[in-house]
Amino acid sequence: MLLKILRYLRGYVRFTVVGRFPERFLNIALHNRLRIWDVERSSGTLSACMYMRDYRSVRHYARKAGVRLRLTEKKGLPRLLSRYSDRSGLIFGAAAFVITIFVMSLFVWSIDVTGLSTISESELRQMLKENGVYVGAFLPAIDDSTVSRSVMLSDPRVGWMAVNVTGSYISVEIKEESPSPEVEDLSKPCNVKARRDGRIIRVEAQQGRCDLKEGSGVVEGQVIVSGVLEDQLGGLRLVHAKASVIAETTYHADFTIPKTMTVYHPTGEVKDRLSADLFGLDLPLTIGGVHTVDHLSDEIVESPAPLDVTLPISLNTRRVYALEELEKSLDYNSAKELLLKESRLYELFTLAPCTVLKRDYDFTATDDGFKLSVDYTCSEDIAVQDGIGTQ
């Protein structure tokens, strides 16, 4: 097989020997160190193969042996190249293809991340980018162990990480660090105090002494469950008081809105901007945009992934919507609706740990705009531990 490849690369010819004594030609050629193979005899002629370069100098021996040579076939790479020598584009194309494949294999084509739970993928990709791992990065410059060590040091949430380079594809496996549980120091004496003003609904004291009853009012900082216990002999003992104090608390919030407000409204003009992403390089394919300064856009990324392998090429379509500023005057109902929405958001985010029991709305129209005052009645755990000690 190897011999066949070598013969093909060097190029060879098949020829026939016509004459009375073709054996004599064979002997003379072989004595002159010429290589001959596949010698076949048929119907008075002898055919054989010889390297193309040797064939040029073999005429002299044929004359000496009294035979005539006839070239029947040329084979091998030199023959192929000479056949396509006038079609230089074909040769250049093949060479360009090989070079392109070689060059492209030196860059990162795609990165796959597995094992994330609390860290977002974009966050991790940003960290990897800071350490030189991104689509389009030069592969020989990436040291996988250095990258994983650096990311683990920069973010304590990353417990373990491995960067596996397979050809032009990088797979990142990550194991997040489990947070260590908070250990309560039970030997440290403390009281349970009120975190804010309220009326006690229920006290569940696990340790300590509670003198307050249900329905009692407490102010912020007041001791609810005491960590100082008195025994039957009148001695004092300090304990780590622990309790859950559910109390009724109140919150007040004001929301205002002006009578006229500026809103952005779509004009109806939409423009698609196409761009190609090649190895992280953004190449715009269309020019121009919308005629307004203010705009809103969304982006669709189409990336080919044959056989589940993401290629470093993508077509990005950014749809831009033109917006215009409009002065909008609010009427009573629409203002009320907007303020109610705002109050619900306040409940959702600010009063998240509480259970809202009651809401008292007061909606008024002022000279400047509208105002919504809300009084919330909530139930929540107001217990907070405060250590007993000397200052």
Contact positions vs another protein (CB under 8 A): 22-23, 26-27, 30-31, 33, 35-42, 46
Nearer to another protein, 36 or 311 (CB): 36
**Side chain identity at 336, as an amino acid letter?**
K
> What's the gap between Cα 265 and its chain centre?
34
Nearer to another protein, 27 or 297 (CB): 27
How near is the Cβ of 37 to another protein at its closest, in Å?
5
How near is the Cβ of 32 to another protein at its closest, in Å?
8
**Side chain identity at 45, as an amino acid letter?**
T
How near is the Cβ of 23 to another protein at its closest, in Å?
5
Can you state the angle between helices 144-154 and 121-130, rounded to 10 degrees? 120
**Which two structure tokens, joined as six digits, stand for 273?**
């901007």
How near is the Cβ of 80 to another protein at its closest, in Å?
25
How near is the Cβ of 280 to another protein at its closest, in Å?
57
Q: Nearest 5°: CA angle at 187, between 183 and 189?
A: 110
Nearer to another protein, 30 or 81 (CB): 30
Cα separation, 178 vs 165, in Å, equals: 27
Nearer to another protein, 1 or 352 (CB): 1
How near is the Cβ of 31 to another protein at its closest, in Å?
5
User: Of 281, 269, 271, 266, which is closest to residue 317 (Cα–Cα)?
Assistant: 271
Cβ neighbour number for residue 158 with a 10 Å cutoff: 20
C-alpha separations of 294 from 56, 158, 266, 270 in Å: 79, 40, 10, 12
Phi, then psi, of 73 in degrees rounded to 5: -155, 140
Residue in the structure block whose two tokens are 């689509």? 135
How near is the Cβ of 43 to another protein at its closest, in Å?
10
Cβ neighbour number for residue 187 with a 10 Å cutoff: 8
Nearer to another protein, 41 or 291 (CB): 41
**Which two structure tokens, joined as six digits, stand for 70?**
């006839």
Nearer to another protein, 12 or 255 (CB): 12
| First vs last C-alpha separation in the chain | 92
How near is the Cβ of 27 to another protein at its closest, in Å?
4
How near is the Cβ of 44 to another protein at its closest, in Å?
9
Cα separation, 110 vs 311, in Å, equals: 6
C-alpha separations of 276 from 125, 180, 195 in Å: 20, 45, 57
Question: Containing H/E element for 96?
Answer: helix 88-104
Nearer to another protein, 7 or 242 (CB): 7
Nearer to another protein, 22 or 312 (CB): 22
Nearer to another protein, 3 or 141 (CB): 3
